[in-house]
């Protein structure tokens, strides 16, 4: 049986293999680096996002396409470690707002430089500026098509939460 | 503290967010599709690779940057389900060779069209041919830099196993 749109051509196969290869080779290495600080990747992403501003849990869940219950579980663990503060919104007590604690900020600030060096080594050191730009443009189009309004690791400040995703 | 090479610029951030976003949004969806067939993604990748030719376990482990023991565990499960055959190499009895069984081939052939349709919908339907080519070129450079000689999902036929990785 032929797939709708046909089989992948040689270029599509290379692109697909690159995406899978990145996920299977580079991400586990970053995950190991985060574990040395007692975090899993998603926790680093949450703390990095919260280091810019506070978020309602519902906004974070939408940005990460996580269920609210899964996110709450993760955030409660970060709160129990003193890395985030969770409190009812002053405007609506049913809404929980997450903000980073001083200890959380200190942790992100201690991890971030090494994380960026890992990302450079794993990705950008292998690319010319033109390739980096082409990669960014292509992946922005892919992520746009996935129906997410924002990135995961470090949400864009202009991400419009109500329409997301 | 400033990372060596500096913080990511705006383009690098977009590219990085795209890579993480792809891994966190698209891969779980593909994983759910494979689960409906009783497979995890890596098992589909193994069966897809074996549908082209047989491999020594050491070659597969190198291609996937998996430990031999982890790969053996996974392959034994596929063998127990009748999807692959494992046998000593005729040239060297200490070497185990994996090949796909007729049932394994039938399973891959039944899954592959839907998998390709998912991949098109999640990735290539959102890209122009020029963007697909730029994505392939950039990711090929990234994967090359990661020290892998071949893709994971469907190893290249010309992947030279001895130098890998």
Q: How far apart are CA B157 and CA B55, in angstroms?
A: 11
Nearest CB to B16; choose among A11, A113, A123: A123
A40 in contact with B, Cβ within 8 Å: no
ipTM reported for the complex, 2 dp: 0.82
Query: Which has the higher per-residue pLDDT, A1 or A44?
Result: A44
Judge whether B39 lies within some domain. yes
Range name among A67-71, A92-96, B14-18, B128-132 with the lowest pLDDT average:
A67-71
Judge whether A33 lies within some domain. yes
Residue of A nearest to B30 (CA): A20
The pLDDT, as a whole number, for residue A146 is 82
Query: Which has the higher per-residue pLDDT, B43 or B63?
Result: B43
Q: Is the pLDDT of residue B67 over 90?
A: no
Query: Which has the higher per-residue pLDDT, A106 or A154?
Result: A106
The pLDDT, as a whole number, for residue B14 is 94
Tens digit of pLDDT for each residue in A4-25? 889 999 999 999 999 998 998 8
Judge whether A158 lies within some domain. no
Judge whether B164 lies within some domain. no
Please identify among residues 126-165 of chain B the ones whose CB lies closer than 8 Å to any CB of chain A.
126-127, 129, 131-146, 148, 151-154, 156
Q: What mean pLDDT value characterizes chain A?
A: 86
Please identify among residues 76-105 of chain B the ones whose CB lies closer than 8 Å to any CB of chain A.
none
Range name among A40-49, B44-53, B140-149, B150-159 with the lowest pLDDT average:
B150-159
Q: Chain B: give the shortest CA distance to residue A33, in Å.
A: 15
The pLDDT, as a whole number, for residue B164 is 35
Judge whether A154 lies within some domain. no
Domains contained in chain A, number = 1
Whether residues B138 and A131 touch (CB distance < 8 A) is answered with yes
The continuous run of DSSP H or E covering B33 comes out as helix B27-35
Q: Which domain holds residue A77?
A: 14-149
Q: Is the pLDDT of residue B72 over 70?
A: yes
Judge whether B6 lies within some domain. no
The pLDDT, as a whole number, for residue A161 is 33
Judge whether B44 lies within some domain. yes
Q: How far apart are CA A81 and CA A103, in angstroms?
A: 9
The pLDDT, as a whole number, for residue B140 is 94
The pLDDT, as a whole number, for residue B113 is 95
- Token reading at A47: 């703390």
Neighbours of B112 (CB within 10 A): 18
Residue of A nearest to B126 (CA): A142
Assign B147 a pLDDT band (cuts: 50, 70, 90).
Answer: low
Assign A128 a pLDDT band (cuts: 50, 70, 90).
Answer: very high
Q: Chain A: give the shortest CA distance to residue B144, in Å.
A: 8
Q: How far apart are CA B160 and CA B137, in angstroms?
A: 20
Q: What mean pLDDT value characterizes chain B?
A: 86
Q: How far apart are CA B54 and CA A88, in angstroms?
A: 59
Judge whether A21 lies within some domain. yes
CB B67 within 8 A of CB B75: no
The pLDDT of A143-161, averaged and rounded, is 50
Assign A147 a pLDDT band (cuts: 50, 70, 90).
Answer: low
The CATH number of residue A63's host domain is: 1.10.10.10
């Amino acid at each position: 049986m032929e797939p709708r749109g046909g089989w992948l051509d040689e270029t599509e196969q290379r692109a697909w293999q690159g995406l899978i290869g990145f996920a299977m080779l580079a991400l586990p290495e970053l995950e190991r680096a985060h574990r040395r600080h007692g975090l899993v990747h998603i926790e680093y992403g949450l703390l990095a996002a919260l280091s810019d501003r506070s978020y309602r849990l519902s906004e974070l869940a939408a940005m990460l396409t996580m269920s609210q219950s899964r996110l709450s579980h993760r955030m409660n663990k970060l709160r129990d470690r003193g890395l985030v503060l969770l409190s009812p919104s002053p405007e609506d007590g049913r809404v929980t707002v997450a903000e980073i604690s001083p200890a959380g900020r200190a942790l992100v600030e201690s991890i971030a430089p090494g994380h960026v060096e890992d990302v450079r080594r794993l990705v950008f050191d292998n690319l010319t500026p033109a390739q980096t730009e082409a990669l960014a443009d292509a992946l922005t189009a892919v992520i746009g098509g996935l129906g997410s309004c924002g990135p995961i690791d470090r949400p864009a400040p202009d991400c419009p939460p109500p329409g997301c995703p």
